[in-house]
Amino acid sequence: MKLPLRATIKRENVSIRMTPFIDCFFLLMIFFLLTLQFQALRGVFENRLPQRTGNTITEPQQDWEIIRIRIKLIITRGDQPKIYLQERALYSYEELLSYLTLLPQEVVLVIEPEPKVPYKHVIGVYNTCIKAKKKNIVFSVMPT
């Protein structure tokens, strides 16, 4: 028995019809776009953040007193930075909270961190102001 030298291969034209795939793709895309729901942002500051460096408050709102809270990168006890409420040095968030509760509601708190202060300390001071039920909190850049 003699085998043929070349195997005869029947070539069949295989073609894929793309129209049903494109239809399914667009139907799925429209379905997911129509059922998409965006969630509200969480953890966004409700207060005014400075737009550029060097913003200062020139005029208090409704004759409100401006109280400056300065955060310096002098780590004292544990992991706490040195916090200045006006000119008074404070060494913990609890101490800051006790002073903030004594202030009236008609006060604007300006948080001025040094540029090298980690954000966790700025957020700690901000949370302390929120715990003291102060609503008018403004962030500023400490003048150099």
Angstrom distance (rounded) from CA 45 to CA 66: 20
The torsion region of residue 84 among left (phi > 0), alpha (psi -120 to 50) and beta comes to beta
Structure token digits, residue 44:
């966004």
Q: Is 65 helix (H, G, I), strand (E, B) or coil?
A: strand
Structure token digits, residue 6:
């070349």
pLDDT in tens, the chain (144 residues): 666 666 666 777 778 888 999 999 999 999 999 999 887 766 555 555 555 555 455 554 456 677 777 777 666 666 777 888 888 888 888 888 888 888 888 888 888 888 788 888 888 888 888 888 888 888 887 665
Q: Is 131 helix (H, G, I), strand (E, B) or coil?
A: helix
Angstrom distance (rounded) from CA 119 to CA 125: 10
Structure token digits, residue 65:
């007193």
CATH class of 67-139: alpha beta
Q: What is the maximal distance between C-alpha atoms in the chain?
A: 112
The domain ranges of the chain are 67-139
Specify the residue for token string 């509760």.
101
Strand-pair partners of 71: 83, 113
pLDDT in tens, 64-94: 677 777 777 666 666 777 888 888 888 888 8
Q: Is 68 helix (H, G, I), strand (E, B) or coil?
A: strand
Q: What is the pLDDT of residue 31?
A: 95
Q: What is the pLDDT of residue 60?
A: 46
Say if CB 123 and CB 47 are below 8 A apart.
Answer: no
